[in-house]
Amino acid sequence: MVRVGIMGASGYAGGELLRLLIKHGGVDLTFATSRKYAGEYVFRAHPNLRGITDLQFVPNDVSNVAGLADLVFTALPHGESLKYMPSLVSSGLKIVDLSADFRLKNADDYETWYGYKHPLPDLLEKFVYAVPELNKEDVRKANLASSPGCMAITSILAMAPLMKEWGANIDKRHVVVDAKIASSGAGGKPSIATHFSERYGVVRPYKAAGHRHTGEIEQMLSRLAGEKVTVSMSAHAINMVRGILCTCHLFYDGDIQTSDIWKMYRAVYSGQPFIRLIREKKGPFRLPDPKVVIGSNYCDVGFELDTHGRRIVALGAIDNLLKGASGNALQTMNLMLGMDEKRGLEDAPLHPV
Amino acid sequence: MVRVGIMGASGYAGGELLRLLIKHGGVDLTFATSRKYAGEYVFRAHPNLRGITDLQFVPNDVSNVAGLADLVFTALPHGESLKYMPSLVSSGLKIVDLSADFRLKNADDYETWYGYKHPLPDLLEKFVYAVPELNKEDVRKANLASSPGCMAITSILAMAPLMKEWGANIDKRHVVVDAKIASSGAGGKPSIATHFSERYGVVRPYKAAGHRHTGEIEQMLSRLAGEKVTVSMSAHAINMVRGILCTCHLFYDGDIQTSDIWKMYRAVYSGQPFIRLIREKKGPFRLPDPKVVIGSNYCDVGFELDTHGRRIVALGAIDNLLKGASGNALQTMNLMLGMDEKRGLEDAPLHPV
Amino acid sequence: MVRVGIMGASGYAGGELLRLLIKHGGVDLTFATSRKYAGEYVFRAHPNLRGITDLQFVPNDVSNVAGLADLVFTALPHGESLKYMPSLVSSGLKIVDLSADFRLKNADDYETWYGYKHPLPDLLEKFVYAVPELNKEDVRKANLASSPGCMAITSILAMAPLMKEWGANIDKRHVVVDAKIASSGAGGKPSIATHFSERYGVVRPYKAAGHRHTGEIEQMLSRLAGEKVTVSMSAHAINMVRGILCTCHLFYDGDIQTSDIWKMYRAVYSGQPFIRLIREKKGPFRLPDPKVVIGSNYCDVGFELDTHGRRIVALGAIDNLLKGASGNALQTMNLMLGMDEKRGLEDAPLHPV
Amino acid sequence: MVRVGIMGASGYAGGELLRLLIKHGGVDLTFATSRKYAGEYVFRAHPNLRGITDLQFVPNDVSNVAGLADLVFTALPHGESLKYMPSLVSSGLKIVDLSADFRLKNADDYETWYGYKHPLPDLLEKFVYAVPELNKEDVRKANLASSPGCMAITSILAMAPLMKEWGANIDKRHVVVDAKIASSGAGGKPSIATHFSERYGVVRPYKAAGHRHTGEIEQMLSRLAGEKVTVSMSAHAINMVRGILCTCHLFYDGDIQTSDIWKMYRAVYSGQPFIRLIREKKGPFRLPDPKVVIGSNYCDVGFELDTHGRRIVALGAIDNLLKGASGNALQTMNLMLGMDEKRGLEDAPLHPV
C-alpha cells in the first residue's frame, strides 16, 4: 500500500487530513509531524480523534521522515514549506503542498502579494496548481501539487464557467469577490482578534483590499479567460467556525439569459463529483450556502442574473477545511496516485449543524 | 409635552421605538397599536420591557388614535402604511413612517422595485426621505418623513461622501453593494427559513439581485452625485440577530490617495453625532464592524483604497433596529419637533455582546 | 442483502438515518416515507443530501411498504408510531422505533409522563429499550427495539456505572439531571419559540420539571441499581443546533476516591466502541463537551468527585441526532442483524465546527 | 459633585463601569487606571466607547489617584485589589471592590476556596458584601463594599426567598447550583480555551466542582437560613458572550404549593426595582432566561415546583457584566452616596439581540 505522511499535522488542516486519511483505506498513514506536539498523541491537538487513532506526532525532521512515505502532504505554515521543500523534492517523493508557497507560477507575484522575493523560483513551475475540476489531467500526471487557498478555490470554481465559456463578454477589469469566511481559516493560534468575546458576532472586514488569495484567483481566471483578469477582493470574518461563501460580482456586455448561463455551468461541471449546481425556486436554500456543505468536499455553485446592473452574481460555498484545504488535497492525492478521486471523500454534509 | 403614538408597535422596530420613547423624557407616549396583541401588555410582545412599562396595546384604529397624538410613528408592515396614511395625513399629524411605502419619490420606481402601482403618487413627494446626516434642514422642516430601509441607510452613509465630493470620478454604472444582515431585519414571523436549526450558521444569499432597497440607494446617490447611479446589490443573511455591514465596492478614474478620501468623509460628516469614522492601524476593530455599534444609533463608516483594481471599498456598520429603523426614526422626530437630535439616543453600544 | 426502510424520514432524525444508511454498505435502503414530502426528492427536506441520493419520499402507507423491507425504522412523531405499530408488528418485520411510544415498560408510566393511557400495553414488554452499552445481548436477540430519548441515553450512560457498581451508596432520592440541549432536538417545525431571533442566545429552562425523559431514566437506573431511583430533571435549550450535555449530580454516603470511580466506569464501559472516558488535566476539553462529538456516534462520559458536598458530578455528551437518535438506532439495527455494531458509524467527530 | 474613579478599567467590568458612569449624571468620573493601556484613550480597550469619551487611562498608581476621588471602584484582577487596598482604605475613600478579595468574611474560607492565606483578615469584616436586594440598609451605611461574584449573586437571588422564608424545610445539605455562563465572565485575555474556533459551540463543564463562588453562596445562604447550607455547584461555559442562568435544585420536606412559593418571593422582593419575577403560561419566555436581561441590571427570578422529586427549581438570570459586576457595583455606589439606587441603571434590556 502507498505510504503517506503529513508534515505539519497539528493545525486545523492537518487535523482534517488525519481524519480523512485514517478512514481512507487505500493508503497507509505512516507519520504526522508537529513541532509543538512532537511525542504526544494526536488527540492532544485534535480532541475529536480521541479513540480513533493511537498515532503520535513526530518532529518536523525531513531526514527522518523522507524514507517513510511515498507521498507527503505539507500542511506547514506559509513560509515553512519553502524551507523543507528542496530536500523533500530531491528525495523524489510525491508532494501535495497546502501552503501558499508554490501556488503562484510567476515569482514576481510573490513580491506583489506576499511582499517577499521567492527563493526558489525554478520550483514554482514544477507544482501543479490543483483545481481538479478544471485541470484534472494535469493533476493526474503531477508529482508536485499545490492546493489552492480556501477563498481562491471557492471564487475560481464560482466564476470559472463564465470566464471559460463567455470570457470575452465579461468586464475583466471590474471583478469583485466579496468573501465571507469562518474562524477556522485563521488557524488555531489565540490572539485578541480571535478571543471569543471579541470575535463572536463580528462582520469584520479584516482584509478589505490586498488579500493574498487575489493573486491566485487572477492567475487562474486569466488562464481560463485567455486574457488578464483583475480581481477586486474583500475578505470578511463572520460568526461561524467552518464555511466560506464567495459572492462574485461580474459585469457583462451583450445579451444573455439565465438558461444560457446554466448551460455554461453544466458544460464545465458536468460529471464533476464535488460540484453541485444550486438554483432552487423554493425552500430556504435556493443558492449556495456553506451551511449545507459542512463536513463534505462539495463546492456548491450557483448564480443570479441581474439585468438591472448588467451583472452576474456567481456564488461558491465550501467547507473551508475540506474543499478549501484538506479535502481538495486528498482529492489531489487520489488523482496523483491513480485512484478514484472520490475515495475517502464521499461523506455527505451534516444537516442541520 | 408633545404627544406621540406608534401604529404597529408589536414588531421588532416597534419594540425598539417603545424602548426609546419610554426613556426619551421629552415626549409623552400616548398609545401603541397592534392588531395581534390589542388588549395585552406590551411585554407580551417585547419581553425585555417587562417591569419597564404598564402600557397595553390598542387596536390599529385610526379614528380612535388620531386625536391622541401630535406625531405618529407608523411601523406597520410594508403595504399597510399605505392604507392608513390618507386618513392620518388629513388629520394634520406629523408622521414618521418606517415602512417602504413612501421612500421612493418617483411612483414608477414602485413598479420596478416593489411590483405594484403606487396608489398615492401625489403623497410621495410630501415625504422627506430622512437621512439627517445628509438632509438635516429638510428633516427639520418636515411634517411627513420616511425613514430609510436598513441596508439603504447603511450603504448611503458609507458612499455619500464619495458621491457628493468626487462623484465625477466614480464609475457610476458599476457600484456593488454587498450587504450582510442579521435576522431581526426579517421581522418576528416564524417560517422554515427563520427556524433556528435552519437559520443558524448560514451565509444565505437570500436576495442576490433585485433587492428592493436598491431603488432607495440609487435615488439618494444619484441626487448626491448629480447623475444617475446604478447600484448592483446582493443581500446575505448571516449568523447574528442584530447588525448590518454593507461593503460597497466603487471603481474610480483618476488619481487619489487615502488622505484625500479622508478629507471627503470629514467634510461631509464633521459634526454629525451619529457618524464615527473608523480607520485604525491596530486592534481587532480597524474598520466598521456591527459588533461595536449594537445598542446604539451609530453608523460607523470607513473605507479602504485599493489601487490594484482602482477600487474604493466603502463600509458602513449599524444596528439594524436602531440607525436602521427606530433610532433613525427617533432622530428624525427630534429634528421635526425642534429638539436636540441626540435626545434619547445617547446610549453607547454594548461591548462585548 | 437485508432490506430496510424508514417511516417518517423527513424529520431531522429521519434525515440522519438516510445519511447513515446510504453509506452503510451492508443493507439495502428500499424506501423512506413522508406525509409532507411524498413524491419529492429527499434533498427537498434534507438539502445536505443533494447529489448523494436520488431517492424520493413515498407516503406513510403501511400496506404498501411492509413488503419492501425486512427491518423498518419508525422515526414518526411521538404518538404516530402507535398507530402504525400493530400492523407493522403483525407483518413480522424487525422494527427499530425512534419515538417515545414504546420506551416505557409499565403502561402506567405513560399516564404519569405523557398524560395518556397507552392503548397497546401488551406490546410494551416486547420492545427492548436499546442502550447497547448496557444490554447488548438483549438487543442482539430483539425483533422489536425502542431507541431511547436523547437526554435519557445521555444521562443513563453518564450514571450507569455508579448505579450498577455502587448503587447502594448513592442517594437515590436526590438525583439531579441538568440537561443542556441544542435546537435540533426540538425538530423542524417553525414556531415563535424556535424563530431565530427569539431562539438565538437563549438559556431557556423550557422544561424545569416534568420532562418526559425522566420516566425512561428512572426505569433504566432503577433496573441497574436494583432499587427505585427518583430523578429530578431540568431541561434547558441553549445556543447551538447539535449536541447535548447532561450534568448529573449524585450524592453519596461512604468514602470514595477518584480512582475508585474510574474503576467503575472502566469496568462497565471497557470495550464499548462508542464510549470515550474523558478526564484530562490540561487543554480546553478536560471533561465531556458535545463540541467534540458532533458528527459521531460517541457518548463521551466523565465525572468529578466533589467531597465538599459529598457529590459526584457525572457527565455525558453526545450528538443528539446520532447517539441520541439515529446513530443509536443504527447501532441497534446492526446488532439485531448480527452485524458489527460499529458498521456505518465509524466517522470521527468534526473539529473544529 | 462626588468624584469617582476606577482602578482597573481596561477589563470588561471596567469597560461597563465606564459606560455607566459616563452617563450617570450624578457623579464626576475623574480617572480610570490601566497598567496595560496607560496613556491611551479608553476606546483602545473599549471600542464601543469611541466617540463617547475622550478619557485616557492613567497608571495604577494609588498615590496619584487617591486625591482625585471620593469613591473608588476597584475592578482589578483577583489578588490585585489586595495589594492596593491598605493604602486606599487608609486614605479614607469609599470603596466598591469588584474582585473576590473581600467577599468572604471568614479568612479561613480563603484557604478553602482560593487556596491562599488571606493577608488582611481584619479588613474582611469591614467590607459589606453588597446584595442590595437583601441587605440594603447595610449597603447604605457602608464605606467599604464588596460586590458579589456573578454566579454567586445570581444563585443567591434565585434562592434567597426560600432560604429566608422556608429555610427549615429546605434540605440544606443537598443544594445544587448548575450555572451556565457566557464568555465575558472569563475576561479579555486570549488563550487556547477562549480561542473562537475552540470556544464556539461548547457546553464546557469548566468547573464541575470546587468553583470559588461556592463559598460566597454558602456564606449568604447560611446567613439567610440561620443554619449552615452546603452548596454543590457546577459551572459551564456556553455559547454566548453575555449572560448567566443559574438553575438551583433544592429538595424540601413538608407540603407546599406553587402559590405558597410565590408569596415567599413576593414577600422578599416586593419593591425591589431590579428583580422581575417570571412565571408565564405562554410565550417562549416563561421562566428566567438571560436573553431578555442583556444590557440591563435586572435579575430575573423564577421557580418551578416538582412534586415528583420533592424539589424546587429556583432560577436566576442576569447580564453577567451588569447585575453580575458593574451594574450591581453602581447600584451599591448609589446607595452608599445616598442616591436613588436606580440612577444610571434604568436601561431596558435589548431585545432581540
- Kindly write down the DSSP assignment for every residue of C202-256, as one continuous string: --EEEESS--THHHHHHHHHHHHHTS---EEEEEEE-S-SS-EEEEEEEEB-S--
Digit-coded pLDDT (tens) for D277-295: 999 999 999 999 999 999 9
**pLDDT score for C65:** 82
Cell numbers given for D145: 463594599
Average pLDDT of every residue of chain A: 97
Digit-coded pLDDT (tens) for C122-157: 999 999 999 999 999 999 999 999 999 999 999 999
Q: Check: CB of residue A175 under 8 Å from CB of residue A203.
A: no
Residue percentage of chain B with pLDDT more than 70: 100
Task: Identify the burial level of C173 via C-beta atoms within 10 angstroms of its C-beta, where 0-12 means exposed, 13-18 middle and 19 or more buried.
Answer: middle
**pLDDT score for A66:** 77
Domains parsed from chain B with CATH numbers: 2-147+322-336 (3.40.50.720), 151-318 (3.30.360.10)
Pick out chain B residues at pLDDT < 70. Answer: none
CA atoms of A154 and B18, how far apart (whole Å): 44
Digit-coded pLDDT (tens) for A42-100: 999 999 999 999 999 999 888 878 789 999 999 999 899 999 999 999 999 999 999 99
Predicted confidence (pLDDT) at residue C236 exceeds the cutoff of 90: yes
Where does residue B304 fall: left (phi above 0), alpha (psi -120 to 50 degrees), or beta otherwise? beta
Tell me what the mean pLDDT of segment C160-171 comes to: 98
- Could you tell me which of D158, D118, D353, D151 has the C-alpha nearest to residue D268? D158
Four-CA torsion D184, D187, D189, D193, nearest 10 degrees: -60
- Across the interface, whether the CB atoms of C46 and A294 are under 8 A apart is answered no
Cell numbers given for B28: 409623552
| pLDDT bracket for residue A292 (50, 70, 90) | very high
Hey, of C44, C184, C197, C240, which one would you mutate to test binding to chain B, going by the most B CBs within 10 A of its CB?
Answer: C197
- Across the interface, whether the CB atoms of C241 and B184 are under 8 A apart is answered no
Give Cα separations from C348 to A51, C299, C315 (angstroms). 9, 12, 20
Four-CA torsion D248, D249, D255, D261, nearest 10 degrees: 20
**pLDDT score for B172:** 98
**pLDDT score for D65:** 82
> Looking at the complex, does the CB of residue C140 fall below 8 Å from at least one CB of chain D?
no
Q: Check: CB of residue B250 under 8 Å from CB of residue B312.
A: yes
Q: What is the dihedral sign for C-alpha D181, C289, C214, C166?
A: negative
- Across the interface, whether the CB atoms of C178 and D290 are under 8 A apart is answered no
CA atoms of A21 and A331, how far apart (whole Å): 11
CA atoms of D236 and D246, how far apart (whole Å): 10
Nearest residue on chain D to B290, alpha-carbon basis: D48
Output Rg (C-alpha) for chain A, integer angstroms.
20
Q: Check: CB of residue C152 under 8 Å from CB of residue C179.
A: no
**pLDDT score for C78:** 87
Cα angle for residues C327, C331, C333 (degrees, 5° grid)? 115
Pick out chain D residues at pLDDT < 70. Answer: none
CA atoms of D248 and D261, how far apart (whole Å): 15
H-assigned helices in chain C: 12-24, 42-45, 62-65, 80-90, 107-114, 121-124, 132-141, 150-166, 196-199, 213-225, 258-269, 327-336
Hey, of A196, A206, A240, A320, which one would you mutate to test binding to chain D, going by the most D CBs within 10 A of its CB?
Answer: A196
Within its chain, how far is the Cα of B229 from the centroid? 20
Nearest residue on chain A to D182, alpha-carbon basis: A197
Cell numbers given for C309: 458536598
Residue percentage of chain A with pLDDT more than 90: 97
Angle between helices C327-336 and C12-24 (to 10 degrees): 50
**Against a cut of 0.90, is the pTM above it?**
yes
Strand partners, C181: C237, C244
What residues of chain C, 190 to 209, have a C-beta less than 8 Å from chain D? 192-193, 197-206, 208-209
**pLDDT score for B6:** 98
Average pLDDT of every residue of chain C: 97
**pLDDT score for C15:** 98
Predicted confidence (pLDDT) at residue A138 exceeds the cutoff of 80: yes
CA atoms of B280 and B294, how far apart (whole Å): 19
How far does the CA of residue B195 sit from the closest CA of chain C (Å)?
5
Q: Which residues of C touch D221 (CB under 8 A)?
A: none
Nearest residue on chain B to D299, alpha-carbon basis: B51
**pLDDT score for A61:** 86
Strand partners, D308: none
> Which residues of B are part of the catalytic machinery?
150
CA atoms of B269 and B131, how far apart (whole Å): 12
> Looking at the complex, does the CB of residue D285 fall below 8 Å from at least one CB of chain B?
yes
H-assigned helices in A46-190: 62-65, 80-90, 107-114, 121-124, 132-141, 150-166
- Across the interface, whether the CB atoms of B48 and D350 are under 8 A apart is answered yes
| pLDDT bracket for residue C66 (50, 70, 90) | confident
> Looking at the complex, does the CB of residue B277 fall below 8 Å from at least one CB of chain D?
no
- Across the interface, whether the CB atoms of C309 and D239 are under 8 A apart is answered no
CA atoms of B316 and A205, how far apart (whole Å): 11
Digit-coded pLDDT (tens) for B55-67: 999 998 888 787 8
For A190, the closest of D12, D186, D194 (CB atoms) is: D194
What is the value of ipTM here, to two decimals? 0.97
